Structure 1
Amino acid sequence: MHQKTVLRNGIRVLTEKIPFAHSVSTGIWVGVGSRDEEEDERGITHFIEHMLFKGTQRRSALDIAKEFDSVGGFANAFTSKEHVCVHAKVLASHLPLVVDVLSDIFLNSVFSDNEIEREQQVILQEIRMIEDTPDEYVHILFQEMFWKDNPLGLPIYGSAQALESLDRTKVLRYLSRHFHSDKIVISAAGNLDHDRFLELIGPPMEGLNHPALPGRRVVPKNHPLVRIIPKDLELVHVCLGMRGNSQVDENRFASHLLNVVLGSSMSSRLFQEIREKRGLAYSVYSFSHSHVDAGILGIYAGVGARNVQETLELIREQLSLLADELISDEELNAAKEYLRGSMYLNAESTDSRMNRMAKNEFLFGRFVDFSEIEEKIVGVRAEQIRDWFREVYTPQELTVLLMGPVEMDRADVEKALS
């Protein structure tokens, strides 16, 4: 059973009652992310997410950790390019505790100077760790190329320079500007009662009264480009892509099915052709990154320097086949079952249901039933997938990044792919 209430200050409260569950997952979401930051604020949303667990007026960081540990609960937070969320999962009997702690850290975090300095060092280490992980770092560099000159392409963790310039005044100013009630969704799923949840969450959250300010998001444009970054690594990390679908695009179901067929599963064409049949790469897959107004359909492969050209040619071959020929009924039906199965298996988690409710509220302003999504998936025809892919795939307009001991030059790469 799904229920929604809008508090007097505009905060939306969503619940889904799951009587057979033992737990409740609760999240306080804000519709702001790294793409909303100014130049001198890069990484501030992610930084605030970290700081929310560093102490409030009533609780120290240790107190917060102990309260969740004492009931066997779990609490965390995350930042994306469009959202920040602080969330927790506890047994249903401990719902009053989780609401009290989450609302306290969301509304009353102190952001002390000492904790700010300490956490700056922690996140700087996080940045260095990512940059030392080439199969992750190549995706960050690729998105910077793909959405050049738009904040959506910049890394969520920001830059070291901007991070080091953060102070308490800048953090509080950002919170006041962006964490207002119209952007907040509170989502809870599990064995709970909606009215009881409102009694707990309403009084503290209705006191939030930051003024609403208009957003400044600019729809990004993708930039076709081939870039080679020579680096002393064991493998060449290849990342390439094209315009994908947004999270509200009617073609998103066709895109997701194509992604499954192309490379997001072990039986996919790229995995079978490049890894299983030829052993050219240990890791090869396709991916779909979707946002509210834009998306990427991309491919990653980690290959030895001598195998790069053959791998690129095989990728080109598979992309061309998808543009020229219809996916077989067998492949299409298998892809539909893959998406359908993933959806319903995820639905067995209260965390997943809490996340899904909040995201649907941000995107569509309503709860979207699983049966509605299943109907959309099942109804996709092979012709729709091919026609959509023909719109987005042009061999000469790919964005391509190679990082590692590359033995090809830019012209060789372009030739292999087109």
Structure 2
Amino acid sequence: MTSRSPRATARPSSEGRAVARTQTLLPGKDGIGTVRRTTLPGGLRIVTETLPSVRSATFGIWAHVGSRDETPALNGATHYLEHLLFKGTRKRSALDISAAIDAVGGEMNAFTAKEYTCYYARVLDTDLPLAIDVVCDMLTGSLILDEDVDAERGVILEEIAMTEDDPGDVVHELFAQTMFGDTPLGRPVLGTVDTVEALTRSQIARFYKKHYDPTHLVVAAAGNVDHATVVRQVRRAFEKAGALGHTDAVPVAPRDGRRALRAAGRVELLNRKTEQAHVVLGMPGLARTDERRWALGVLNTALGGGMSSRLFQEVREKRGLAYSVYSYTSGFADCGLFGVYAGCRPGQVHDVLKICRDELAKVASDGLTDEEIRRAVGQLSGSTVLGLEDTGALMNRIGKSELCWGSQMSVDDMLARIAAVTPDEVREVARDVLEQRPSLAVIGPLKDKQADRLRRAVS
């Protein structure tokens, strides 16, 4: 990601505290959409995007830790910890935390991914100080009591069971395992029943202490917010908790990753009595910092990103073989995935798989038409803007950008980069990605002959 040259100011505190450094990353237009960053002593970063025309604000804290940072024995610890931070602090019980946000009509949640974790609250702009106080308190003052660890273990096991009941979700985890094997990227974010049952309070507490210091955190706020006010309130909350850390500490750099193991031509089949067979066919994609990602985004949109896409037309519209069929990309620090999903009747899985393989092969060898590329550029541009229409999406964008890239890109710059993608760039990335030997994950009621045939399909 690229950013415009920031303007920086250093403001000494009237109370004699160490100096914070503030930068304007994106100037916006007439003050609207201005993105600023302040780095506090101790390494805590605070980024905001100001939109005076709205009446809401979303406040979040991003942690530079995900399931990728877990050892095999700690698989699921990041997600377990996410749950536990809602269970109570020195100031608030679990009920106090939820009741405080409910009482002002707000919403609060969190999510754990492979490479980061986020906690957030969306409220009316007048209630932003409350949201800041509650979320900061959760992140800095969690008690992680033995009884909470034991109680939440059952909740997480139920969440795993709920996920296992949805083969449309499980097949994507199975595909990640197919591609990455027994590595952190190949293991489930939730962990397994065995690892969750084995995790102890002391393991989780050590994980919390290691990964939740200020250098690993990014605070993000978007909406009708004033940057200086947010910085002041966040700083006060962290100082009261004694959580600002060492004054000479610097933020951790964006993750560069460790080259993940990637397997070609692997097949994983899970025999289940489901009404549909769930199929993911895919291959290695691009890292999130790869400049070819813009062309891959256009390619992905044209192949399986909408009702006019190749796969939707060939599989669903022309032949009626599936209700849901789409392609997707996932980018990590050093690698990525490109996948095609389809859900179909078990007896039609081979036909669906053949059509998908044929279409990928055609695009790899012949490329997309100029009309398909033009349509995909327009669709991708429109969906990019429409996806940023609320303060929650804006908070996600600036927080993730700071954590993963260390910089910000304006929406106009993003649209310009999408519009600049050429047919030759799309054809080149199609060859680079789609000509690789694919791997396959399938869940469904598969007979032995079907399974053997599927294994041969990607050989």
Task: Work out which of the residue numbers 259, 262, 271 in structure 2 matches 1:230.
Answer: 271
Q: Who is 2:363 aligned against?
A: 322
The answer to whether 1:63 aligns with 2:96 is: yes
**What is the distance in 2 between the residues matched to 1:305 and 1:162?**
32
**What is the distance in 1 between the residues matched to 2:309 and 2:315?**
10
Cα 1:287–1:213, aligned 2, differ >3 Å: closer, same or farther?
closer
Cα 1:254–1:267, aligned 2, differ >3 Å: closer, same or farther?
same
Q: Which amino acid in 1 is paired with 2:359? A: Q
Q: Who is 1:185 aligned against?
A: 218
**What is the distance in 2 between the residues matched to 1:248 and 1:129?**
34
Q: Who is 1:375 aligned against?
A: 416
Q: Who is 1:337 aligned against?
A: 378
Task: Work out which of the residue numbers 18, 29, 47 in structure 1 matches 2:51.
Answer: 18
Bigger Cα displacement from structure 2, 84-93 vs 196-205? 196-205
The answer to whether 1:105 aligns with 2:145 is: no
**What is the distance in 2 between the residues matched to 1:385 and 1:262?**
11
Following superposition, the deviation at residue 216 of structure 1 comes to 10
Q: Secondary structure at the match of 1:152?
A: coil
CA contact (8 A) 2:122 2:392 kept: yes
Within 5 Å, which residues of 2 pair with 1:10-409?
A: 10-206=43-239, 207-208=242-243, 209=245, 217-224=257-264, 225-394=266-435, 397-407=437-447, 408-409=449-450
**What is the distance in 1 between the residues matched to 2:157 and 2:285?**
32
Q: Secondary structure at the match of 1:10?
A: coil
**What is the distance in 2 between the residues matched to 1:386 and 1:217?**
28
Following superposition, the deviation at residue 64 of structure 1 comes to 1.1
CA contact (8 A) 1:36 1:217 kept: no
Q: Give CA deviations for 1:336-394 in whole Å, capped at 9, x if unaligned.
A: 11111111112221111111001111232122111111111111111111111212223
Cα 1:228–1:40, aligned 2, differ >3 Å: closer, same or farther?
closer
CA contact (8 A) 1:14 1:186 kept: yes
CA contact (8 A) 2:258 2:334 kept: no
CA contact (8 A) 2:110 2:120 kept: yes
Q: Secondary structure at the match of 1:65?
A: helix
**What is the distance in 1 between the residues matched to 2:252 and 2:116?**
16
Query: What are structure 1's unaligned runs of at least 5 residues?
Result: none
Q: Secondary structure at the match of 2:263?
A: coil
Query: What are structure 2's unaligned runs of at least 5 residues?
Result: 1-33
After superposing on structure 2, the runs of 4+ consecutive aligned residues of structure 1 that deviate more than 4 Å are 210-217, 407-411, 414-418
Following superposition, the deviation at residue 417 of structure 1 comes to 5.3
Following superposition, the deviation at residue 410 of structure 1 comes to 5.5
Following superposition, the deviation at residue 180 of structure 1 comes to 2.1
Q: Give CA deviations for 1:178-207 in whole Å, capped at 9, x if unaligned.
A: 112221100000111111111100123253
CA contact (8 A) 2:256 2:334 kept: no
Instruction: Give the percent of matched residue pairs that are identical in Structure 1 and Structure 2.
Output: 39
**What is the distance in 1 between the residues matched to 2:233 and 2:176?**
41
Q: Secondary structure at the match of 1:250?
A: coil
Q: Who is 2:42 aligned against?
A: 9
Say what the alpha-carbon RMSD is for the aligned residues: 1.9
CA contact (8 A) 1:24 1:188 kept: yes
Q: Give CA deviations for 1:117-140 in whole Å, capped at 9, x if unaligned.
A: 111001101111111111111111
**What is the distance in 1 between the residues matched to 2:179 and 2:287?**
15
**What is the distance in 2 between the residues matched to 1:186 and 1:250?**
27
Q: Which amino acid in 1 is paired with 2:182? A: D
CA contact (8 A) 2:330 2:336 kept: yes
CA contact (8 A) 1:243 1:295 kept: yes
**What is the distance in 1 between the residues matched to 2:209 and 2:433?**
40
**What is the distance in 1 between the residues matched to 2:304 and 2:375?**
13
Bigger Cα displacement from structure 2, 323-332 vs 35-44? 323-332
Q: Which amino acid in 1 is paired with 2:114? A: K
Alignment coverage as a number of residue pairs: 417
CA contact (8 A) 1:316 1:417 kept: no
CA contact (8 A) 2:303 2:309 kept: yes
Following superposition, the deviation at residue 229 of structure 1 comes to 2.7
**What is the distance in 2 between the residues matched to 1:75 and 1:284?**
32
Following superposition, the deviation at residue 5 of structure 1 comes to 0.5
Q: Give CA deviations for 1:21-65 in whole Å, capped at 9, x if unaligned.
A: 101101011110001011211111101111111111111111111
**What is the distance in 2 between the residues matched to 1:54 and 1:105?**
9
Q: Which amino acid in 2 is paired with 1:313? A: K
CA contact (8 A) 2:310 2:359 kept: yes
**What is the distance in 1 between the residues matched to 2:364 and 2:292?**
15
Q: Give CA deviations for 1:60-110 in whole Å, capped at 9, x if unaligned.
A: 111111111111111111111111111001111111111111111111111
CA contact (8 A) 1:178 1:213 kept: no
Following superposition, the deviation at residue 412 of structure 1 comes to 2.9
Cα 1:178–1:415, aligned 2, differ >3 Å: closer, same or farther?
same
- Tell me the TM-score normalised to structure 1 length: 0.95
CA contact (8 A) 1:227 1:410 kept: no
